[in-house]
Amino acid sequence: MTEQDEIRAIMQKVPHRYPFLLVDRVLECEPGVSITALKNVTVNEPFFTGHFPGHPVMPGVLILEALAQAGLILGMRTVDAEDGTIVYFAGIDKARFKRQVIPGDQLLLKLSIGSAKKRLWKFNAEAWVGAELACRAEMMAIPGAPAHEAS
């Protein structure tokens, strides 16, 4: 699969678009088990304009969102969800931030499935920069109806 094919595959599963699509590439995915994905953090990210001027730091909530988007991909590949299925963030527990994420970092998103039932997905999530843990959390999501059925 080429890089162009990979981003298209991500965009089929994740409804977010610029500037809110926070997964650039899936490196590994074993449905029902785990996913490793990548977010390249560049100085051109719009959030760096105000967070913080002169000392850009990726907001923690966006690190969590990147993890949630990788979890969405894993969950949809696990249950073979239809493209266009809307997935709602349901909860987060034990979120901890261990390292700042700054421009130039590559954020490695690693999630494993705690459980994936038809109506509730639970993930153990970690974000890494190199060998350093940046964030850890337990996350939950609820898949809804495909967008074309929801109206």
Can the peptide bond before residue 52 be classed as cis, meaning omega within 30 degrees of 0?
yes
Residue of 16, 51, 55, 148 marked catalytic? 51
Is residue 51 part of the annotated active site? The answer reads yes
Residue linked to tokens 């990548």 = 38
- Nearest residue to 110 (alpha-carbon basis) of 91, 87, 134, 86: 134
Q: Which residues are catalytic?
A: 51
